[in-house]
């Protein structure tokens, strides 16, 4: 059941801060405070400043007007637990161990909490966790009603506060859906236009608007109780929404994320960055921004130069990894790997002969629209193309993102693009080797979810019983 997200405390929390402490905290040379707020399953483009004028997001839009908006920011996995743990550790999912959903990093893995505490920071988290083990993420727990108190505490001591919303994750129950007209919404290219789709979209948009309210209240808390002019304030959308082509995929609707950073006097207000960055870059960037030393062995690297306006480029390619095994109603084995440049996307589906499944299409119709797509697909060719294309994919997909941003026309096998295709595959293979990623073998290390039936799940259970091993306490078998 979704947690309610109202924060009435912001207007009524007593103002009892020591003025001398405020003055001391604002002295030149003090380390900046950090606030990072995450949505939960929000498609990157679904806000006003990112081009969706249908969605009311005045606070996100204001933040973008006061900071820098990234047009090419990415997560490496479009699922909650792997996304958050790569963001907090600076390590890609297979390498840190948290590559299935509902998973944990390898024991001994360090995170932003360890790195910033060494620099004198208090590091707190308020909201959804989705990580483990606790030793790797020893955040101070900050109840929602205590945000102002956490921000205003010990003014001479810098803080990092991570605020993680439950919106707009399913079920879409927060916000005012009546504020949106189902008949007026525009249907994205990957969607089938049915009354059920429109009804789901307005509920999803209402939750985004409600998340925007949360973000606005967080901004107000920083202004009232913190050092607004010396705070790095970051908003990001996590991965794509729970629609086909979004969450649980390596398409841009899944891996592309919104990222806005405000840092008064350091970042030019209203600026736009086209540099390609990934979530693993956030930890190194923040460490450099606050004057810390680089951490050896991280996958990410700092893009502080982009924030300062000193650089226009960062990565020339970003990578994606998806593990279907272990998710609710997921396919027994359906790994996906990808590489994306500024112009092209290459996707490898090793188990392309099998159908792709997840909780949306696994019989429960959790989003409230999938069954209507299937029904229309019986008589409508476009609906049939979308429904079948989501469940059954070719081994190789190649898209020219300049002319085909919604990844509708697969160019794999085009003779004139054979050199590009081979080059991208070579780079993807090299990245997988560096990560210790063996594709199907890596996928099969994951314990099948209890909701998944079928021969493959039963065989693996039998193999474990034969081996005489004890039942694992974790949700997956860790990579070696």
Cβ atoms 428, 348 nearer than 8 A? yes
* Cα 389 from Cα 67, distance rounded (Å): 39
Q: What would the DSSP string read from start to end of 37-49? A: EE-SS--TT-SGG
Cβ atoms 320, 250 nearer than 8 A? yes
Give the number of other Cβ atoms within 10 Å of residue 222's Cβ: 20
Cα–Cα distances (Å) from 350 to 135, 363, 397, 480, in that order, read 35, 25, 11, 21
Catalytic, out of 16, 49, 80, 218: 80
Cβ atoms 117, 360 nearer than 8 A? no
Work out the widest C-alpha separation in the chain, in whole angstroms: 72
Residue 47, token pair as written in the block: 């806000």
Residue 10: phi and psi, rounded to 5, are -65, -35
160 is catalytic: no
The residues, ordered by sequence, that sit 6+ positions from 409 with a Cβ below 8 Å of its Cβ are 399, 400
C-alpha radius of gyration, the chain, whole number: 22
Residue 453, token pair as written in the block: 């039936």
* Cα 410 from Cα 413, distance rounded (Å): 9
Cβ atoms 458, 379 nearer than 8 A? no
Alpha carbons within 13 angstroms on the beta-carbon side of residue 271 total: 21
- Quote the distance between the C-alpha of residue 197 and its chain's center: 23
* Cα 259 from Cα 69, distance rounded (Å): 6
Cβ atoms 107, 300 nearer than 8 A? no
Cα–Cα distances (Å) from 16 to 11, 156, 174, in that order, read 14, 16, 33
Give the number of other Cβ atoms within 10 Å of residue 78's Cβ: 30
| Beta strands 68-74 and 122-127, pairing class | unpaired
The residues, ordered by sequence, that sit 6+ positions from 62 with a Cβ below 8 Å of its Cβ are 219
Cα–Cα distances (Å) from 9 to 15, 25, 237, 338, in that order, read 12, 24, 24, 44
- Which residues belong to the active site? 80
């Amino acid at each position: 059941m979704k947690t309610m997200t109202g924060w009435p405390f912001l207007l009524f929390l007593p103002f009892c801060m020591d003025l001398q402490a405020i003055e001391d905290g604002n002295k030149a040379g003090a380390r900046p405070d950090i606030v990072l707020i995450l949505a939960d399953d929000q498609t990157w483009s679904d806000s006003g400043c990112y081009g969706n004028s249908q969605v009311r997001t005045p606070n996100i839009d204001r933040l973008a007007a006061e900071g820098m908006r990234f047009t090419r920011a990415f997560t490496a996995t479009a699922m909650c637990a792997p996304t958050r743990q790569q963001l907090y550790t600076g390590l890609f999912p297979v390498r840190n161990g948290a590559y299935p959903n509902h998973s944990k990093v390898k024991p001994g893995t360090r995170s932003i909490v360890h790195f910033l505490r060494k620099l004198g920071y208090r590091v707190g988290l308020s909201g959804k966790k989705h990580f483990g083990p606790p030793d790797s993420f020893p955040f101070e727990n900050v109840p929602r009603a205590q945000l102002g108190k956490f921000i205003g505490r010990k003014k001479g001591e810098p803080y990092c506060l991570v605020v993680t919303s439950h919106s707009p994750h399913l079920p879409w129950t927060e916000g005012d859906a009546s504020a949106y007209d189902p008949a007026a919404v525009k249907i994205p290219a990957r969607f089938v236009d049915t009354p059920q789709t429109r009804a789901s979209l307005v509920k999803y948009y209402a939750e985004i608007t409600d998340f925007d309210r949360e973000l606005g209240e967080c901004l107000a808390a920083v202004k009232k109780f913190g050092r607004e002019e010396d705070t790095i304030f970051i908003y990001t959308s996590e991965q794509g929404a729970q629609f086909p082509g979004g969450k649980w995929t390596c398409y841009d609707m899944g891996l592309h994320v919104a990222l806005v950073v405000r840092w008064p006097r350091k970042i030019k207000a209203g600026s736009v960055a086209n540099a390609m960055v990934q979530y693993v870059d956030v930890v190194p960037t923040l460490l450099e921004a606050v004057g810390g030393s680089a951490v050896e062995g991280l996958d990410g690297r700092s893009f502080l130069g982009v924030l300062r306006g000193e650089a226009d480029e960062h990565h020339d390619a970003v990578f994606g990894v998806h593990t279907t095994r272990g998710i609710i109603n997921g396919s027994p084995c359906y790994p996906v790997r990808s590489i994306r440049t500024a112009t092209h996307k290459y996707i490898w589906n090793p188990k392309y002969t099998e159908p792709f499944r997840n909780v949306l299409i696994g019989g429960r119709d959790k989003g409230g629209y999938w069954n209507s797509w299937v029904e229309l697909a019986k008589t409508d060719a476009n609906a049939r193309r979308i429904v079948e294309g989501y469940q059954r994919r070719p081994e190789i997909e190649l898209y020219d993102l300049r002319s085909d941003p919604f990844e509708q026309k697969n160019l794999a096998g085009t003779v004139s693009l054979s050199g590009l295709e081979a080059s991208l595959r070579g780079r993807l293979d090299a990245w997988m080797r560096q990560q210790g990623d063996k594709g199907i073998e890596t996928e099969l290390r994951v314990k099948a979810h209890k909701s998944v039936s079928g021969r493959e799940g039963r065989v693996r259970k039998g193999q474990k019983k034969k081996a005489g091993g004890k039942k694992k306490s974790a949700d997956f078998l860790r990579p070696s």
